Structure 1
Amino acid sequence: MKVHAPEAILPTLTATVGVVLLAFWLATGPPSDLEPRTSGRDGTIDRSGQTARPEPGQPIAGPGTASEIPGQWPGFLGPGRDSIATGGPPLARSWPAEGPPVLWSIDVAEGYAGAAISDGRVYVLDYDEEAEADTLRCLSLDDGREIWRNSYPVVVAFHHGMTRTVPTIVGDYVITMGPRCHLACWDAATGKSHWLIDLERDHGTRVPEWYTGQCPLVDQDRLIVAPCGDAMLMAIDYRTGDVIWQSPNPKGWNMTHVSIVPMELQGRRTYVYCASGGVAGVAADDGTLLWETTAWKEINATSPSPVVLPDDRLFLSRGYGSGALMLQLVKTDSGIEAQSLFELTPKQFSSEQQTPIYRDGHLFGIRKVGAKTMVCLDLDGNEVWDSGGDRFGLGPYLFADDLLLILDDDATLTAAEATPSGYKRLARHKVLPGGHDAWGPMAMVAGRLILRDMTRLVCLDLRAN
C-alpha cells in the first residue's frame, strides 16, 4: 500500500475545504451585521481620488438675507492677515455670569474651517457628508440663516476632521481651497460658480497629510497659491481662473499646511512660503525665485505662517518637537541670502497650529511645550512675560479694541489686556458647552466674534453696550 506524506495531503485538503466554504458563502450571503469600512476613520486619507475634475452645481437659495452690519473680515487672519481687527465699537471688558450673548449658532461638519465676512454675509467652506461634497455656505451675519449654498462632489474622509481653510473675499468674488486642493471661485452675492481648478490633477500637487490648510491669498489684484507640484507658487486671474505666471519648483518641494505671506523686500513685492523642504521667496511681478533656504524644513507638519518683521526679518514657528527660527534676508553679490539670526527651543517658544501676532514691536503667541501659556517675545527672542496661571491649548487668538481674545481647546474664551508691559485677564467663559478641538481661526466684525469648535459655529456679541 502506498503511503502519502502529510505535506502532500495538506494542499489537497485545504483546497477542498476552501471550495466548500465558498459554496456556503455564495448560498447564504455575507452576515447582515457587517458595515462597510469608512475610509479615513482608521486614521488614513483615501488617496484614490477622482479621475475627472468635479463640476460645481447650481446655488441653492435659503431663507437668510444679508445683514446691514458694516465691516469686513475678508479672509485668513483678517483684513491685514495679521489677526488684528480694526475699527468697530468698543468691546466689553467684563461679561455676565452666563457669558457674552450668543447671537446665533449652527451645526457644521467636523473640522476647523474658519469664517470670512463681507457685506453682512458670512462665508464658510463646509462639507456635506451625505452628498459627499465640499459646500460653500453663505450665511446672514444677523441670525446665521443660510442665504445660499453651492458645492462640488469630492470624497473627503474623516482624518482629524475634514474642513480646514478660510475663504478669501475680493469684490464680488469668493475664493475657496478645499481639503483636497480644489481651488474654486464663486459669485459672492448669488453663489454661482465661476471656475474650479483641481491642483492635484491639473498641477501635480500632493495633498498634504491631514489635508491642506492653505488659505487663498489675493494680492495686487491676483490670486496667489502654492501648488508645490509643477510650480511652487502660481498667480491666477481670479476672475477667469487663467494662470498668469508660475514659479519654478526645482527641488520638488511639496505643499504644507502653511498659507502664503506677502512681503516688501528691499523695495520689491515678494511672496514667502514654507514648503516641505524649506522656505522660499518669489517675486510678485513674474514669479522669479529670489531666494530659498533649507534651514527650516517640515517636521511632521508645518502650519503657522511666517510672520514678517521690520528689517527684512521673518519669524518661523511650529510644534512637533521643534521651536522657532528668526531669519533675515540680506542682499549679497550673488542675490538674496536668508541668514539665521537665532533659534528658540520648544520650551522657549513653539506654536503647532496658530500664527503668532506681531504688534507693538513684539510677538505674541501660545507656547505649546510645558505650561502652554501665552507669551510675549521681543524681536531678539527674549521672553518678556507669560500668562502665568492662565493656560491655553492649540486654539486661535486675535486682537480687537486693544483686547487679546484667546480661544482654548474646549471653546473657553478669554479676554485679556496684553501689551509689552504685561498680561491681565479680564473675562473668561466657556462659550460652547461640551466644546472640543476649537482650533479654527476666529473672525471679528463690528463687535461680533465668530468662532467654532469641531462641530459648531457660533456668533457672539462682544460689544460693550
Structure 2
Amino acid sequence: MSRLLLLFVLLVATSGIATAGDWPQILGPQRNGIATEEKLAKKWPVGGPPVVWERSVGHGYAGVAVKGERAVLFHRVRDEEVTECLNANTGETLWKQAHGTDFYPQVGGADGPLCVPVISQGHVVTFGAQGVLSCFKLDSGEELWTRKTHEDFGALEGYFGAGATPIVVGELVLVNVGGSKKEAGVVAFDLATGETKWTRTAEPASYSAPVEVTLADIPHVLMITRYKCILFEAESGAMRFEIPFGQRGPTVNAATPLVIDNKQLFLTASYGIGSVLADFDILHYSPIWEDDAPLATQYCTPIHQNGLLYCIDGREDQPPADLKCIEMKTGKLKWIEHNFGYGTVLFADEKLIIQKNDGDIILAHVDETGYRQLSHAKLLSGEVRALPALSNGRLFIRDAKTLKCVDIGQK
C-alpha cells in the first residue's frame, strides 16, 4: 500500500464524519428522519422482522445513536443517569459512565433522560433531564468534561426536564439550556473542554432539537426555543433573525424544524400553534403560509419527500391522531388516514417506517396518491416514545423496559 493511500485510510478511519449507515444523532445524519443509504426488505415475515438482540434498559425516552459498530444508550438506572456504549451487533456493554440524579418530572412522564446522545468527531455528548451536559470519548468512555448547566445558568427544569437535544457544529456544542435569568437561553460550549464560548437570548428551553444549515459558506444553527425559532451563526452566536413560534401556558415545542434546500424552513407544533412554511436567507425570513388546520403535531417531526410532508398529526394525550400527507408549498391536504394513532416516522428506501406509541412498528409505501401498509409487527409494549435509530438495515427501538435491535434490511 502506498504511503498516500495509507494516510487516506487512516484519516477516514479516525475521522468523526458520519459514514453510510451511521445514525449518530437524533433523527439521523441530517436530523430529518431520512436514511438515504439504507436498503430495506420489501416485507417482513408473518411474525415480524428478526430480533438480532434485546436487552433490558432503565428509565427515559432517549433513543440510541449509532456510529459504526457502536450504539450509545442513555438511560436512568436507579439514581444515576447512565451513558452506556454497546456493541451494535450484540448489545454487549463496552463501557459506561454515570452521574447521580434525583430528577422527578413536574407533570408526569419519565424520570429518566429525554435527549438522544450525539456522536461527533470521536466524542459522545449527552444532556440529562437535570441539565447535566457531559462529553466522553467514544472509543474508551473516558469522561472529558461535565457541566451542570441548570446550576451554571439558572435554568428551570421545565415540565418534563431538559429535553432539547444538543447539536455539535465544528468545535462547538450548542444547547438550548433555557437560562432565561442570565441571558443564557442558548449556550455554546467548547467540544474539547466544556468551556463556555458564548451565551445568547433569555429564551426558555423547548423540547425541539436544533438543526445545522450552511448559509454563505458559514455554518448556522436553526433552533426552536420555548417561544421562538432563531437562526444563529454557530461560531459567534450572532442572531440572524427570529420567528415568533409558541404560546404561553401548558404548551411545548417538540418537533424538529425542517430545512429544505437551505432556503425554506418548516415548523410545526400542537396546542393551537400550528405550522409555518417560510423562505429564508442569512438575514431574513418570509412566511409562505401559516395555519394550524393542515398540521399541528405534538412531537412527530415530518418527513419531506418530493414536495410532500408525511406526518402523524395531533397529540398523544388527546386522540385521535391522523396520518397525513400535506402538499408543502400550499398546506393542502393530499390524503389522510383517520384515527391512525400517535407515533413517529422515519423514511428509507422509498418506505415510511412508523413507530406507534402502542409498540406497533409499520412498514409502508406512501406517495401523493395514498398510504399502503406493507408489514407491521407488535415489537414493543407499554408506553413507547423514544425515537428509533436506523443503521445498516437494523432498527434500534426501545420501550420503558427493553431495547431491541431488529433486522429490517434487504436480503
1:116 aligns with 2:62: no
TM-fit CA distance, 1:310: 4.1
Aligned partner of 2:82 among 130, 135, 138: 135
2:230 maps to 280
Deviations 1:24-60 (A, max 9, x none): xxxxxxxxxxxxxxxxxxxxxxxxxxxxxxxxxxxxx
Q: Is the 8 A contact 2:327 2:333 kept in 1?
A: yes
Cα gap change, 1:117 to 1:338, in 2 (>3 Å): same
Aligned partner of 1:341 among 279, 288, 295: 288
Q: Find the aligned partners of 1:267 and 1:104 in 2 and give their Cα distance.
A: 43
2:364 maps to 416
What is the root-mean-square deviation in Å for CA atoms of aligned residues? 2.3
TM-score, normalising length: structure 2: 0.86
TM-fit CA distance, 1:464: 3.0
Aligned partner of 2:195 among 218, 238, 242: 242
1:451 maps to 397
Deviations 1:163-217 (A, max 9, x none): 2110001132100001111110011122121100111111222222111221121
- The residue type paired with residue 455 of structure 1 is K
2:10 maps to none
Cα gap change, 1:110 to 1:134, in 2 (>3 Å): closer
Q: Find the aligned partners of 1:274 and 1:463 in 2 and give their Cα distance.
A: 34
1:460 aligns with 2:406: yes
Q: Is the 8 A contact 1:263 1:308 kept in 2?
A: yes
Aligned partner of 2:337 among 385, 388, 395: 388
Q: Identity of paired residues, percent?
A: 25
1:225 maps to 175
Q: Find the aligned partners of 1:74 and 1:275 in 2 and give their Cα distance.
A: 23
Matches within 5 A, 1:39-438: 71-88=21-38, 90-129=39-78, 132-157=79-104, 159-162=108-111, 163-229=113-179, 230=182, 231-246=184-199, 248-249=200-201, 252-265=202-215, 268-297=218-247, 300-310=251-261, 312-329=263-280, 336-345=283-292, 347-368=293-314, 371-388=320-337, 391-393=340-342, 395-432=343-380, 435-438=381-384
**SS at 2:150's partner residue?**
helix
Q: Find the aligned partners of 2:358 and 2:36 in 1 and give their Cα distance.
A: 27
Q: Find the aligned partners of 2:312 and 2:379 in 1 and give their Cα distance.
A: 20
1:9 maps to none
Deviations 1:279-318 (A, max 9, x none): 2222123111221233544551110121113473321111
Q: Is the 8 A contact 2:309 2:328 kept in 1?
A: yes
**SS at 1:200's partner residue?**
helix
Q: Find the aligned partners of 1:309 and 1:297 in 2 and give their Cα distance.
A: 25
- The residue type paired with residue 24 of structure 2 is P
Q: Find the aligned partners of 1:404 and 1:255 in 2 and give their Cα distance.
A: 30
| Stretches of structure 2 lacking an aligned partner (at least 5 in a row) | 1-18
TM-fit CA distance, 1:402: 1.7
| Stretches of structure 1 lacking an aligned partner (at least 5 in a row) | 1-68
Q: Is the 8 A contact 2:81 2:128 kept in 1?
A: yes
TM-fit CA distance, 1:93: 1.5
Work out the number of aligned pairs and report it: 383
Q: Is the 8 A contact 2:214 2:262 kept in 1?
A: no
TM-score, normalising length: structure 1: 0.77
Cα gap change, 1:414 to 1:284, in 2 (>3 Å): same
- The residue type paired with residue 391 of structure 1 is F
Q: Is the 8 A contact 1:164 1:212 kept in 2?
A: yes
Q: Is the 8 A contact 1:254 1:275 kept in 2?
A: yes
TM-fit CA distance, 1:359: 2.1
- The residue type paired with residue 367 of structure 2 is T
Q: Find the aligned partners of 2:77 and 2:407 in 1 and give their Cα distance.
A: 28
Q: Find the aligned partners of 1:97 and 1:377 in 2 and give their Cα distance.
A: 31
TM-fit CA distance, 1:327: 3.1
Structure 1 or 2: larger strand share?
2
Q: Find the aligned partners of 2:362 and 2:399 in 1 and give their Cα distance.
A: 15
